[in-house]
Amino acid sequence: MTLSPGSTELTLDPAHQPEETPAPNLAELTLEPVHCRPELLDACADLINEQWPRSRASRLHSLGQSSDAFPLCLMLLSPRPTPESLPIVVGHARLSRVLDRPQSLLVETVVVARALRGRGFGRRLMEGLEVFAQARGFRRLHLTTHDQLQFYAHLGYQLGEPVQGLVFTSRRLPATLLKAFPRAPPPRLPCKPPSLTAQTAPRAPKGPALPPPPPLPEPLTTSPPPPAMPPPRSLLETQYQDLRGCPIFWMEKDI
């Protein structure tokens, strides 16, 4: 490093230029549950908060709920650069059970480190989720997205219908409790048909007879209403919105 006379700018010698940290090797990445690597909780919380800021305590509490009984948080890890350091958290995704769909999982909070995006790590994360879910007997994944439709479409996802993820599940909870979640309201029963039994005719009022009612006006000739259009099924339109009113796309894939 040299200091030019009369100047306050520092110039690094080419021979001493710092080397950029190489990107992790895709073949060396592993997918591990957060609750199996508690020493990486802080790094995982920082990764998620970089995309969706939230209080650190709240984020750590949410990650601490991860368990094999779901919801389950998975980290995409790169091998430790040195024997003394910890693995690098490259990505994260959360899996939850789906109400009334025992073979489905809901994928949420999918994120890759900002400095590593566009290099195939997102695809590696999603492919790892599929292998993880298949090994545990699940056959379909659901997710939502605002602006990554093309990315998920290239992975084989198609537009689907909304599902309800379970915030918690436990083997100690009876199935009747899990079935108590709100469902679609049952259809209304048809109105009771009028009784066909003979009834006593009302007595005519005393006094002069009332004049007959005026004739009804002739119906206006109008064109029939246009048929209802089916809901949009393209990757450019959606009929669903999130809690903020922004368009959201539900997608799903059989695995």
160-186 residue pLDDT tens: 999 999 986 544 444 454 454 444 444
Give me the phi and psi of 101, to 5 degrees please.
-135, 85
Q: Which residue has the tokens 């769909």?
A: 101
Find the mean pLDDT for residues 55-62. 96
pTM over 0.75: no
Beta bridge partners of 104: 140
Share of the chain above pLDDT 90, in %: 56
Least confident interval from 50-64, 89-103, 115-129, 216-230: 216-230
Q: Which residue has the tokens 């549950």?
A: 33
E-strand ranges in the chain read 2-3, 10-11, 30-33, 72-78, 88-98, 101-112, 140-145, 158-159, 249-254
Q: Is the pLDDT of residue 200 over 70?
A: no
Closest CA to 154 of 243, 251, 17: 251
Find the mean pLDDT for residues 6-26. 55
Catalogue all structural domains in the chain, each as residue range(s) with its CATH number: 30-140 (3.40.630.30)
CA–CA dist 102, 166 (Å, integer): 11
Q: Please give the pLDDT value at position 59.
A: 97
| CB-based contacts of 127, cutoff 8 Å, min separation 6 | 155
CA–CA dist 74, 31 (Å, integer): 6
Q: Would you say 88 and 81 are in contact if contact means Cβ atoms under 8 Å apart? A: yes
Share of the chain above pLDDT 70, in %: 67
Q: Please give the pLDDT value at position 177.
A: 45
Q: Is the pLDDT of residue 15 over 60?
A: no
Find the mean pLDDT for residues 79-87. 90
**Measured distance between the N- and C-terminal CA atoms of the chain, rounded to whole angstroms:** 55
CB-CB neighbours of 35 under 10 Å: 15
Closest CA to 110 of 147, 143, 72, 150: 143
Q: Which long-range contacts (CB under 8 A, 24 or more apart) does 112-115 make?
A: 112/76, 113/47, 113/50, 113/89, 114/50, 114/51
Find the mean pLDDT for residues 152-160. 97
Tens digit of each residue's pLDDT (9 = 90 or more) over 99-151: 999 999 999 999 999 999 999 999 999 999 999 999 999 999 999 999 999 99
Q: Is the pLDDT of residue 20 over 70?
A: no
Q: Would you say 175 and 99 are in contact if contact means Cβ atoms under 8 Å apart? A: no
Q: Please give the pLDDT value at position 4.
A: 43
Find the mean pLDDT for residues 224-246. 68
